[in-house]
Amino acid sequence: MRVPVSFQPFRALWTAVVYGVLAALVVLVYALVVGAARWLVSGSGDDAWPALLATGLAVALLPPARRRLRRGVDRLRLGGQDDPYAVLSRLDRRLDAAAAPDVVLPDLVDTIARALRLRYVAIELRVGDDWVPAAASGVPVDDVLVLPLTHHGASIGRLLVASRRRGEAFSPADRALLDDVARQAGVAAHGVGLAVELQAARERLVTTREEERRRLRHRLHDGVGPTLAAVAMGVEAVSTLAERDPAAADEALERLQAEVRATVAEVRGIARELRPPALDDLGLERALRERAAELAAGREGVVLEVAVEGAIEDLPAAVEVAAYRVADAALTAAATASGSARIVLAGGGELTVRAALEPAPPVDVRRAALEGMRVACADVGGTLRTRGGGGLAVEAVLPRRAVLAGSGVRS
């Protein structure tokens, strides 16, 4: 950061302009008043009082005229910087008027540049360890003042501003105003970042949902559909065969029964993926306990536990399914890695699903499990946090009133 030294001649020039115009105004008022008074009382013989009247009016008008002239010149020279409240109010109005996230920051830097008559204003956002340009107004320069953009103590970006003229420094009043502007810009930048993250999450959710729909369609169209068509044809063939070869008809019926049983199992598997039937039959806690027992059966060294803290009844269907998906993904990952997992369902204002896996599953298993958990959380507006170490710790926080993804509507 480099802040130039103050360039005083410009300020002296503007001060000279103010007093020059003020002197001309006083002379003009004096001349007009004296002339008008003499014309009105021409021939009275008293020439002293017009001059006294003009002098009194000039003296009375001098302070307000000086204030107004100074305010006008400062506005011309500084933009709105002589009135900090006006600058901040203008920023508020621009932020309220900006509906789309992609125009908030460009509007913000443009408003700052025009209101304060700055050569260059830019906002850069922090992405990891890098600074990414988000919006700019003016031509980039080297002599910029860098102001941090923070939100609740966290650094989210920085505001770059260049003074009105090269070589002119920011005064203490300038810095105080820019600090206020930076605080306001930090809130706006944080909101834009959240909006961008939300949009990205919605896009991932829509993509995942459509991929899942396509996969189910293929299973129904390429698996269940042809099987049922074959069964229908087999039934017709058996009805014909039964009259002339009963033994062959019995064998064909057995094959058809096997195909029907396999198709029923396939349909049940699809239904289980849409909503686990055990949730309706047993409830969330017992359904997860049975799922844990099923995964651990016959697998040496696999220890899967499910515990409950607080009340977890009366959950919305979407939240219940999301909790089951998160816990099931953790249990499945632990069983696949021949390890252990402890699942804790904690009730309260929100439903929290905590999973501790030992040891950490392989990378591909862990990645698939976490992706499934993220999708389940996103479906109801929840959040997912992970922590590594010797194993893998996962915490999913799900609101009791599910937020329908992409709509903001609560169910």
Q: CATH number, domain at 293?
A: 3.30.565.10
Residue 147 lies in a domain: yes
136 lies in the same domain as 155: yes
Backbone angles phi, psi at 2, to 5 degrees: -135, 120
Residue 56 lies in a domain: yes
Residue 227 lies in a domain: no
Find the helix packing angle between 172-218 and 363-379, rounded to 10°.
100
Predicted confidence at residue 366, as pLDDT, reads: 87
Backbone angles phi, psi at 183, to 5 degrees: -65, -40
End residue of a domain, out of 61, 78, 95:
78
43 lies in the same domain as 119: no
End residue of a domain, out of 200, 235, 261:
200
290 lies in the same domain as 357: yes
> Which of 262, 129, 208 has the alpha carbon at shortest distance from 376?
208
Contact 373/325 with Cβ under 8 angstroms? yes
Backbone angles phi, psi at 144, to 5 degrees: -115, 155
Contact 304/340 with Cβ under 8 angstroms? yes
Question: How far is residue 79's CA from residue 119's CA, in Å, rounded to a whole number?
Answer: 12
Q: Which two tokens stand for residue 8?
A: 């005083």
Contact 298/253 with Cβ under 8 angstroms? no
Q: Which two tokens stand for residue 254?
A: 């057995």
Predicted confidence at residue 384, as pLDDT, reads: 92
Predicted confidence at residue 179, as pLDDT, reads: 86
188 lies in the same domain as 115: yes
Provide the number of structural domains found in the chain. Answer: 3
308 lies in the same domain as 370: yes
> Which of 249, 327, 315 has the alpha carbon at shortest distance from 287?
327
Per-residue DSSP letter, 410: B
List the chain pLDDT tens, one digit each, 411 residues.
333 333 344 455 555 655 566 566 666 665 665 566 556 555 544 555 555 555 656 556 666 665 665 555 555 554 444 455 555 566 666 555 555 667 778 888 887 887 777 889 999 888 777 888 888 988 888 888 899 988 888 888 899 999 877 777 777 877 888 888 888 788 888 887 777 777 777 777 667 777 777 777 777 777 777 878 887 888 877 777 777 788 887 888 888 888 888 888 777 777 666 677 788 888 889 999 999 999 888 888 889 999 999 888 888 888 888 899 999 999 999 998 889 999 999 988 889 999 999 888 888 888 888 988 998 888 888 899 988 777 889 999 998 765 444 433 333
290 lies in the same domain as 390: yes
Residue type, 73: V
Residue 182 burial (10 A CB sphere; 0-12, 13-18, 19+): buried
Q: In CATH, what number is assigned to the domain containing residue 162?
A: 3.30.450.40
> Which of 88, 90, 103, 84 has the alpha carbon at shortest distance from 191?
103
User: For the chain, what is the radius of gyration of the CA atoms?
Assistant: 38
Residue 129 domain boundaries: 84-200
Residue 209 lies in a domain: no
311 lies in the same domain as 286: yes
74 lies in the same domain as 93: no
End residue of a domain, out of 24, 56, 78:
78
Question: How far is residue 98's CA from residue 383's CA, in Å, rounded to a whole number?
Answer: 28
